[in-house]
Amino acid sequence: MSEKTHGIHYAWWVMIGCFFLQAGALGAIMNSGGIFFVPVCNELGFDRGALALYLTFYFIATTFTYPLVAKYLPKWNFRVFLTVCFLILAATEAAMGFMNELWQWYVAGVVLGIAGALVFVVASTVLIENWFIAKRGTALGIAMCGSGIGGFFFPMFGNYLIEAVGWRMAYPSIALIMCLIVLPFTIFVFRLHPSDLGLKPYGAERAEEMAAAEAAAKGMPAKKAIVTLAFVCIFLYAGIEALFSGYNNHLPGFAESIGYSAAFGAGILSLAQLGYSVATLVMGWVTDKIGVAASTYITLGVTAASLLGFSFLQAEAPLMVCAFVFGMNSVIITISVPTLISELFGKKYFAQILSYSRMSGIIGCFGAAAVGACYDFTGSYVGSFFAGIVILAICAVLVGVALTQKKKLRAQWE
C-alpha cells in the first residue's frame, strides 16, 4: 500500500479520524453532558451535586482501567477493541434517556469510565504518537480539538433537542449521531502502527527525522518512571487539573443561577468548547515552537484569568469571553501532560506511562460533585471559582518541579 492516498500521507487520514473520534466521543458525552443537569434535576427532583456524582464514578472507573488499557492495547486487535468500546459508550449515552433513579446514572458513570479509558484520550494520543514524527504537536492539537468542536456543536444541538423532544429523546439522538461520525474511522481507517499497513510514520523519510525517530524510540521503562519525582509531580498535576472538568459541566447551571436562560447556558458551554478547539490548534503549534513549559504556563495563566472573570463579571459579553478563554484549560490534559511525559521519559514506553498518569483521575473525580455541592450549600458558584485559582497555582509549582528533573532523567535513557 502506498504511503499516500490521493497525494495525502495516510497519517493525515488517521489524524482526521482522531478528530472525529474526539468530537463524537469526548465532545458529545463528557464535554456536553452539562446541558442535561438542569432539566434532569428539575424533572426528577435531584440535587445537582448528587447527579454530578456520576462523573465521580466515571473518574474512579477510568482511573483503574487505564493500566489495563496499557497492558492489552498492544495485544488485542486495535480496531475491534476501539470499536467495541465506542459502541458501549454510545449505548450508555442512549440508555441515559430511559433512567429514573440516581443509581442508574452512577452505573452509567462506571461504564463510561471503563469504555472511555481507551476512547476518550488514550487512543488518539497513541495513534498520533505512532503515526507522526514530524509535526507531531500540530497533529495532536488538530486531533484533540475535535472534542472541542464536538463540545461546541452538541450542547447547542442537544439543547434544541431538549426543547423540541425532551431530554429523554435527546440522549439517544445524540448517541445515533455519534455512531454516524465515528464508526467509519474505527472500522475502516485506524491501525495502531504504520507498519500494520507496510508504511512509515509521517516525516520518517527525512534522514534527520529518522535520527530523531531512533532517539525517540528510546525511553525509561514504565516501572522505573512511575517512582520518580518527576512522574509524581506530573501525576498530581494531571489529577488536580482534572478537577476542572467539573466546572465545564456546571457552566449551564452557573448561567441559570445568575438569571440567564437555558439557551444562553448551553451557548457558553459551547463557547468554552470552541475555546478549547482554538487552544488545541494554537497550543499544538506553540508547543512545537517554544516548548511544553512555556505553553503550559500560558494555559494556566489564562485559565486563572477566566475564573476571575466568572467571579466578578456577569454581563453577557464578558461571560461569553470568559467561557471561551476558560475552555483552554482542557489542553492541559490532552496536550500538556502527554508532551511532558514524552519529553521527560521518552517514547518507547510512552503508552504505558501515559496510562499510569491517567490514574490521577482519582484525584479529580470529585470535581463535578464538589462544584455542584458548592452551589447546593451556598447558592453560588463563586467560591468554587476562587478554589480553582488556587488549584492552578499548585499546578504551576508541580510542573516547575517536574521540569527540574529533565536533565537527570534523560541522562538515564538517552
CA–CA gap between residue 361 and residue 34 (Å, rounded): 19
Angle between helices 123-131 and 136-165 (to 10 degrees): 150
pLDDT of amino acid 270: 83
Which residue, chain included where needed, has cell 466521543?
A: 25
pLDDT of amino acid 19: 95
Give 334 or 100, the one with higher predicted confidence: 100
pLDDT of amino acid 3: 53
pLDDT band at 399 (very low <50, low <70, confident <90, very high): very high
pLDDT of amino acid 211: 60
Consecutive H or E run containing 401? helix 382-403
Question: Which DSSP symbol is given to 5?
Answer: E
Give 7 or 106, the one with higher predicted confidence: 106
Residues 192, 122 contacting (CB under 8 angstroms): no
The average confidence (pLDDT) of the chain is 86
CA–CA gap between residue 142 and residue 400 (Å, rounded): 26
pLDDT of amino acid 117: 87
C-alpha grid cell, residue 111: 461504564
pLDDT of amino acid 207: 43
C-alpha grid cell, residue 2: 502506498
Looking at the chain, the whole-number percentage of residues with pLDDT higher than 70 is 94
CB count in 10 Å sphere of residue 378: 11
Question: Which DSSP symbol is given to 135?
Answer: T
Q: What is the mean pLDDT of residues 47-73?
A: 82
With 50 as the cut, is the pLDDT of residue 109 above it? yes
As a whole number of Å, the end-to-end CA separation of the chain is: 33
Question: Which DSSP symbol is given to 226?
Answer: T
With 70 as the cut, is the pLDDT of residue 298 above it? yes
pLDDT of amino acid 93: 96
Give 135 or 196, the one with higher predicted confidence: 196
With 70 as the cut, is the pLDDT of residue 322 above it? yes
With 80 as the cut, is the pLDDT of residue 307 above it? yes
CA–CA gap between residue 108 and residue 131 (Å, rounded): 33
Asked whether the CA dihedral 354, 284, 82, 93 is positive or negative, the reply is positive
Which residue, chain included where needed, has cell 487539573?
A: 241
pLDDT of amino acid 4: 54
Closest of 392, 343, 92 to residue 242, by C-alpha: 392
pLDDT band at 372 (very low <50, low <70, confident <90, very high): confident
Low-confidence winner among 208-212, 283-287, 338-342, 396-400 (lowest mean pLDDT): 208-212
Closest of 226, 199, 231, 204 to residue 215, by C-alpha: 204
pLDDT of amino acid 1: 47
pLDDT band at 179 (very low <50, low <70, confident <90, very high): very high
Closest of 323, 341, 325 to residue 333, by C-alpha: 341
Q: How many residues does the structure list for the chain?
A: 414
CA–CA gap between residue 105 and residue 52 (Å, rounded): 9
DSSP-H helix ranges across 96-244: 102-116, 123-131, 136-165, 167-188, 207-216, 222-225, 229-241
Which residue, chain included where needed, has cell 428539575?
A: 42
Query: Using one digit for the tens of pLDDT, what is the confidence trace for 205-259?
Result: 664 555 655 555 678 888 899 999 999 999 999 888 878 877 877 888 889 889 8
pLDDT of amino acid 210: 56
With 90 as the cut, is the pLDDT of residue 188 above it? yes
